[in-house]
Structure 1
Amino acid sequence: MTPERGAYVVDVRQGRIGQVMGQQGPYVQLRPPGGGREWDCPPDALRPAGPGEVLRARVTELNRESRLP
């Protein structure tokens, strides 16, 4: 699986949802919803995020943005 930049995916190794930020070498770079430290994940350890997971991720981001000065 090679997801598009901006897509939400799940890192099945940890069960974490992330937004695809790009690709560096053989790894996909993911960022947690709402910000935070990016991590690398091999493409074969990713699955598309379901609609409920995407909704939760977007709500997390909106909540973070509403707290910014």
Structure 2
Amino acid sequence: MSQDRAEPPELGTLLVDANGKLGVFMGRGGPRYMLRPVRGGCEWEAEPATVREPTPAERETAERQRAEQETVRAA
């Protein structure tokens, strides 16, 4: 399922790019979507027509990564 629509997703939406890399939607960079790793780090570009919503397993992975990141920040 691609995100091929006129409006981009909401900021913070989880997406998976064409390479299977899970990221958080951070906005647009020209015609492309800007995604950032769930744990933070450098953004990368993805073609809007090639991204998809994560599977339940991918979403669970992202939630676990976010929880781990919060634990690290709190320490």
Aligning the two structures, in what range does the TM-score lie when normalised by the shorter sequence?
0.7 to 0.9
The structure whose Rg is larger is 2
Which has more strand, going by share of residues?
Answer: 1
Name the amino acid aligned to 2:71: S
How many residues get paired?
A: 68
Gaps of 5+ in 1: none
Over 4 Å off, 4+ runs: none
- What TM-score do the two structures reach when normalised by structure 1? 0.86
Match of 1:47 in 2: 52
Gaps of 5+ in 2: none
SS in 2 for 1:23: strand
- What TM-score do the two structures reach when normalised by structure 2? 0.80
Identity %: 35
RMSD: 1.2
